[in-house]
Each structure stands twice: as structure tokens, then as C-alpha cells.
Amino acid sequence: VANYLKSDFKSSVKHYQEALKLFSSLKDTLEIAKANLNIATTYSASGEHQYTITYALKALRLFEKIKEENGQGRVNNLLGMVY
């Protein structure tokens, strides 16, 4: 988060991807979805919209799978801003 606030998007993505690997090894679907959303949000802030869409859709599928409506709403909001 600190790197994101400093606009150090490359470092932010790197750390979020490390978190994604950890949560994947733990098979924690909610945290995997959140990590994907964080990566998508970071790519959005840096203007890399194709990556934003890719990670946002991964997050959306997981949020839908576990019926996490708040997460679904956050992803749909992000996708709406990108499109």
C-alpha cells in the first residue's frame, strides 16, 4: 500500500503478486480475490488497462464463486471506470 501511495506502481504490483502466491499456497479464495483486485487497481492507476481488466476479471470470478457481493461491486466499479 505504501508503494501505491507513493505512485511506485511497479513495486506495488511486485508485492501484491508475492501476496497472491502466498494466498494461493494457502488456498484462501477470498484473499486471492482481494490480491487480484489490488493488482488490478494498481494497474488501473498506472494506466495499464489491459492488465487491469485481466486481473479484475480473475478477482470477479473468485468473488462470485464465494458469493462475496462487496468484492463483486468493487470489481464492477473498477471495470466501469476502465471502460
Which three-class secondary structure state does DSSP give residue 67? coil
The pTM assigned to this predicted structure is: 0.90
| Residue pair 54/39 in contact by the 8 Å Cβ criterion | no
Instruction: Encode the chain (83 residues) as per-residue pLDDT tens digits.
Output: 544 555 689 999 999 999 999 999 999 999 999 999 999 999 999 999 999 999 999 999 999 999 999 999 999 999 999 98
Position 4 scores a pLDDT of 55
Contacts of residue 15, Cβ cutoff 8 Å, sequence gap at least 6: 3
Position 3 scores a pLDDT of 45
Give whole-number Cα distances, 29 to 13, 20, 69, 81, in Å. Answer: 19, 10, 14, 25
